[in-house]
Amino acid sequence: MVPIADNDNTSGADQPGGGADDSKPCPICGKASTLRWRPFCSKRCADIDLNRWLSGGYVIPARDDDPLDDDGDEGPTTGR
């Protein structure tokens, strides 16, 4: 197994797992993505995306299947 160099300035096309992936561009900057950082083009763009998730920049909407009662309590009362 050939180790992959940890050098963000190269495309890595000559190394396994580091070549260009022409299927989709990087969602952060739009450059061609690389197999090593897929779906991103580099560690920098992957870190930018991670920071957006951790800081609340991305939000997954929640469905409101179980609405709260008028008094704010969740679910039915037990009569205690």
Nearest to 50 by CA among 34, 61, 37, 31: 37
pLDDT computed for residue 70 by the predictor: 57
pLDDT tens-digit series, residues 46-77: 999 999 999 999 888 888 776 665 555 565 66
User: What class, spelled out in words, does domain 20-54 have in CATH?
Assistant: alpha beta
* 8 A C-beta contact, residue 60 and residue 75: no
Domain edges within the chain = 20-54
User: CA–CA distance from 3 to each of 13, 15, 36, 78 (Å)?
Assistant: 14, 9, 12, 61
pLDDT computed for residue 17 by the predictor: 52
What is the longest distance spanned by two Cα atoms in the chain? 70
What is the pTM (predicted TM-score) of this model? 0.51
